[in-house]
Amino acid sequence: MGRKRIEPSNCTIDYLSILDEYGNLDTGLEPEIPPEMHLKMLRAMLLGRRFDERLLDLQRQGRIGTYPPTKGQEAAHIGSAILLKDSDWFVPSFREMAAEIMRGRTMESALLYFNGYNEGTIVPEGSKDLPMAVPVASQILHAVGLAWAAKYRQTGEVVMAFFGDGATSEGDFHEGLNCAAVYQAPVVFVCQNNQWAISVPLARQTHSETLAQKAIAYGMPGIQVDGNDILAVYAAAKEAVDRARDGGGPTLIECVTYRIMMHTTSDDPKKYRSEEEVECWRQRDPLIRYRKYLLQKNLITEQQLIALEEEIKQDIQAAVERAEKRMQELGNPLDQFDHLFAEMPPRLRKHKEALAKELAEAGREAHHG
């Protein structure tokens, strides 16, 4: 009887930073990354940034629909997703475009998706990448289910799930982490803490000093990293992926980063945050930081960077042209009924027939009008 203090194990959270915005490098923590992997990550980050900028331009021109920019967060998802094998599962939310493309998604697919075409969500045969998940935190449950299945079947697969700070306020987040820990599922949870859940700041979402410490309650390792430092993200993700693959269960990684642009193109961030805050984070740009590092390491030259920029520019333009040509061949609204069930249920068949009739009548009226 009585009152006594319980001191659970692992009640401290580490913060990891290896390469800061000023170019200072902690050589003792610098991860060993093969040169070819460095160049792959750089290309993925640069392509992600330029494609992101082009998509924003296309949205403003009315050539795609609502779009959620990813600028400033590339290191958080590239530095972690690079550790996955093709046989592992990649489970995104909706702000991991650079990693999606690195994992094999085509830019044409993204362009179709943001124009409202179902074909933009088709997962290629054999791919272990789930489509974008717009409902906040719902993909966390899917990731845990995949990881639990992988453990049960002893496939050796690792699952990596991405979400934002806003997702940690959802029940799905807590249910997912608890289930993953109980069953020691091989899943790595990567939280891109970009400080804002649309217009709600982090301080209004949680009273916790960090998001990483939420891992403690569920009995799993948690770590907070400088999410704009790709070396720190890589080091933390490697440790987490290796642990998951070796049977050590899940990990929560909090990548402290920032959403430089708007939440989506339907949002005006000037209504809830200051330009001074944004400018402060611009100085911590992950791409600028990484390019300087690679130049100093003689892993790339200025001339190669210029050539890479031109190559990426041409690749993006070619993808836009292919997608817009494809969209001229698509667009039958009836197609939306054909990708939901292996065998269409009677109720859905009635809906399809009703829409077909409505479209036919509208066509006749347009013809006679």
The encoded tokens of residue 209 equal 């000093």
SS (HEC) of 264-306 = CCCCCHHHCCCHHHHHHHHCCCHHHHHHHHHHHCCCCCHHHHH
Burial of 139 (0-12, 13-18, 19+ CB in 10 A): buried
Angstrom distance (rounded) from CA 295 to CA 305: 9
Determine phi and psi for 154, rounding to 5 degrees: 55, 45
Specify whether 272 is catalytic. Answer: yes
CA neighbor of 105 nearest in space, from 151, 33, 47, 37: 47
Which residues touch 61 (CB under 8 Å, ≥6 apart)? none
Q: Which of 152, 272, 339, 364 is catalytic?
A: 272
Q: Which of 49, 259, 284, 289 is catalytic?
A: 259
- Are 48 and 101 spatial neighbours (Cβ–Cβ below 8 Å)? yes
Which one of the listed residues 103, 263, 284, 289 is annotated catalytic? 263
Which sign, positive or negative, has the C-alpha torsion 235, 107, 132, 194? positive
**What value, to the nearest 5°, has the Cα angle with vertex 6 and ends 5 and 10?**
135
**259 a catalytic residue:** yes
- In the chain, the amino acid numbered 99 is A
Other beta carbons less than 10 A from residue 56's beta carbon: 17
Q: Quickly list H helices, the chain.
A: 35-60, 74-81, 97-102, 107-113, 138-153, 171-182, 214-217, 230-245, 275-282, 286-296, 302-327, 346-368
> HEC profile for 159-198?
EEEEEEHHHHHCHHHHHHHHHHHHCCCCEEEEEEECCEEC
Collapse the DSSP code of 91 into the 3-class scheme (helix H, G, I; strand E, B; otherwise coil) and give the result. strand
Q: Catalytic amino acids?
A: 259, 263, 272
